[in-house]
Chains A and B, each alone.
Chain A
Amino acid sequence: MKADTASTAELLNASDLSRVYGGGKGVFGISLTLKAGEVVGLMGPNGSGKTTLLRMLATASTPTSGRLTWFGNSNSRDPSVRRRLGVVLDQAAHFDQMTGYQNGWFFARQFGLTPDLARSRLDELFSWSGISDARDQRVGEYSLGMKRRLNLVEALVHRPAILLLDEPTLALDYRAELDLIERLQLLTLTGTAIILATNDVHLAERLCDRILFLHQGRVIREGRVPELMTELAGSKEVQLQMSSPVSLEKLWLLPAVQAANVEGDTVHIVLARGANPADVLAVLNGTADLVSTMRVRRPNLGDLFLKLTGVALPAAHE
């Protein structure tokens, strides 16, 4: 074990971390620290490097360069490190021939729980996750949502010091998402640190202390959630649902437009403080009648990302 002199309050420390794949893709020069009880969100569109980064932090993949320590230990294969991590990866992979409970039991025992403790924790977590009734069913017969819940059970069963979650609310219904947020909030109170890769802006705003925006493998912006939100203070997000495609060029004639992006049949526009949303329709001029729905709402972290990069975050629940 290679003990560091780094502060023990830092559960995780990544410095200038890179993982390069063929074709120049990957993540580059990322630095990150994580303290007990802290929740850090990784946000970015698909291919921005969230999953690659999370896998490195979860010891599932090795950085090409840079330095990474967990609890002051830089050996990613050290069982004492892995025993203190709880991981939900992007793929809901399980042993499909085994039942949900058998899967949970395997992970609980692998992470060092005694049979009695494994039994009581699994009983509680299966009940919490709402898959109690299916615990004796083969995982191959589970829906994606049930598999994701089982992932959470397996990640939480050994009460890890660091939780690394890749899109944890993916395929969860509203009730399950609320339960998860509550559970994670409680865990942070007991000192569990969480890294969350997500595009669910509501989850990130409710749960995260800090956010790292990733774009093309690099951190383009980092900050505490309230600080980031102040950058959008007074701004508005206008969503136009179009019945036919329109050019965005006209929109840029409006000085108040800070960002605009088309996603499917919806145009997302971030307007600066004081702008009148009706001006958007005015500037669209002859094509305004193609707008089937117009929504104006308070901007969120997704709008800040759009403002910074010109790229919209994919909707988390599509």
Chain B
Amino acid sequence: MMLAGTVWQRELLEFYQRRRAMVIKLLFPLFIAIPLLFTHAPVIYVAMALTMLITIIGALGAGAVLTRERLVGLTVRYRTLPVTPGRLLLERLTVNAAIDFLQLIPVLLLVAVRYPNSIAWWPALLLTSMAALLVGNLLGAVASVLSDSPGEVMLYIFIPLLPVLYLSGVFAPLTEPALLVVSRFLPFSYLHEALLGALGGQSNLLPWETALAGLGFLVGAAGLIGRLGRRVLESE
């Protein structure tokens, strides 16, 4: 029997033991990605759809799980564990983001197979994807505090997410200088740039700039999760 003694091991164990959910989770991104990547869809639309897919995968999973756990009383049990709230939330969201990343690997591999000449963008794509997933998980965790049901959490995720995606230049290229500046403070804009580059399209940034920003957001999100542990896990 597989046993888990730490929070991150427990997350992995539960994911592994929910076989049917695991298979669905691993397959559904492919159903979206395959038609996009192997048809003649314009790169800008493919990049937009994949940016949204990655962001939503990150945000929805954590939000729904944390809301359900709060409703059934598991969050209160977590509060009695001898682990600080920051560390607890960081362990949980990092593992969740890692599982989400696992879910995306087939999609990223398809991008690499379809556009092998864009190898320079792969580090940036990996780092910005991880950052977007971790930020998405954080967003879901914060939304879970406001929600009374796993369904309601979707509302609290999409209300800020859609404008943020717009401001990231995901839906349409940003031309206003002020909006361009704003977009540089949003992790999803770098994911979008990395996808544009990896899909052979026209990116506004260099691969190393995008990769560096991805790394920055990854570290920043981890730090913020540690700081927000109490607020997320101890709110009633």
Q: A: which residues have CB within 8 A of B? A: 55, 58-62, 77, 79-83, 85, 87, 89-95, 97-99, 101-102, 105-106, 108-112, 115, 118, 136
Contact = CB atoms under 8 A, between A and B. Distances in A.
B81 A91 contact: no
A101 B83 contact: no
A161 to B, nearest CB: 13
B76 A55 contact: yes
B81 A82 contact: yes
A198 to B, nearest CB: 18
8 contacts: A61-B234, A62-B234, A89-B76, A89-B80, A90-B73, A101-B3, A102-B1, A118-B5
B72 interface: yes
B175 interface: no
Q: What range describes how many residues of B lie at the interface?
A: 20 to 34
Contact of B1 (A59, A101, A108, A109): A101
B6 interface: yes
Given A105-B4, A109-B6, A97 B80 contact: no
A56 to B, nearest CB: 11
B14 A95 contact: yes
Interface string B58-84: 000000000000001110110111111
Contacts of A92: 73
Interface in B1-54: 1-7, 10, 13-14, 17-18
A112 B5 CA distance: 9
A61 B236 contact: yes
Contacts of A91: 72-73, 76
A166 to B, nearest CB: 11
10 tightest A-B contacts by CB?
A109-B5, A91-B73, A93-B73, A79-B82, A82-B82, A60-B79, A83-B82, A93-B74, A105-B3, A87-B80
A95 B10 contact: yes
B3 A60 contact: no
Interface centre among A77, A87, A108, A112 (most CB of B within 10 A): A77
Contacts of B82: 79-83, 110-112
Contacts of A112: 82
Contacts of B207: none
A82 B81 CA distance: 6
B197 interface: no
Nearest to A79: B82
B79 A93 contact: no
B85 interface: yes
Contacts of A108: 5
B122 to A, nearest CB: 35
A109 B3 CA distance: 10
Contacts of A60: 76-77, 79-80
Contact of B81 (A61, A62, A80, A110): A110
A102 B1 CA distance: 8
Contacts of B77: 60, 87, 89, 93
Given A62-B234, A102-B4, 7 more contacts: A60-B77, A61-B76, A91-B72, A93-B73, A102-B1, A102-B3, A115-B5
A195 B1 CA distance: 35
A77 B84 contact: yes
A62 B80 CA distance: 12
A274 to B, nearest CB: 48
B83 A95 contact: no
A108 B83 CA distance: 13
Given A60-B79, A82-B81, A93-B74, A106 B5 contact: yes
Given A95-B10, A111-B82, A136 B5 contact: no
B144 to A, nearest CB: 16
Given A61-B236, A97-B18, A106 B10 contact: yes
A111 B6 CA distance: 10
Contact of B4 (A89, A106, A136): A106
Contacts of A110: 5-7, 81-83
Interface in B147-199: none
Contacts of B4: 98, 102, 105-106, 109
B90 to A, nearest CB: 15
A79 B73 CA distance: 21
Contacts of B81: 82, 110
